[in-house]
Amino acid sequence: MNERKCYYCGSEKYYAKGLCMPCYTRLRRNGTVEYKQRGGRPITAKSKEIVRLKKSGIKEAKIAGLVGVSRQDVYGVLSRYYRPTNLDRIRDMNAEELAGKLCNDNCPPGYRDALVCGKSGFDCEACWLDWLKQEAQDD
């Protein structure tokens, strides 16, 4: 029996010219069955400035004003060229989100345990929120 397979990827679904549909589409679109490397556009000076400002901790709306572009442009550049670190994500959290992340049945510093504060389990989130809103103490 004559088996027809794509000569490039080996797929059983033969379409035309010895190729399957995805390979044939690439051949027609790109002139070759090889995958096209997506290098994208080179990063511009404005894009570099946007990323530098974001890394320094400035919010997107303020970056847009400083650089002179729209917020949509800032978001587009950041989604393409900027990967936030864990510290950046923590900085962007509000107190409630951070308290939720910190609460894992552990009481905050200065609170001995759940028996002292009278709360247990999931109520520790309220203790963390109180602790986060207190003034910092020098240790």
pLDDT tens sequence across 35-73: 765 655 667 889 889 999 988 888 899 999 999 999 999
Mean pLDDT of 70-77: 91
Query: Which one has a higher pLDDT value, 13 or 115?
Result: 13
- Average pLDDT for the chain: 78
For the record, the structure tokens of 96 come out as 């409630």
Q: Please give the Cα distance from 114 to 55 (Å, whole number).
A: 38
Q: Output the pLDDT for position 1.
A: 44
**Identity of the amino acid at 107:** C
What is the domain partition of the chain in residue ranges?
A: 1-39, 45-85, 93-133
How many other CB atoms are found less than 10 A from the CB of residue 11?
Answer: 15
User: In angstroms, rounded to a whole number, what is the distance separating the alpha carbons of residues 94 and 104?
Assistant: 18
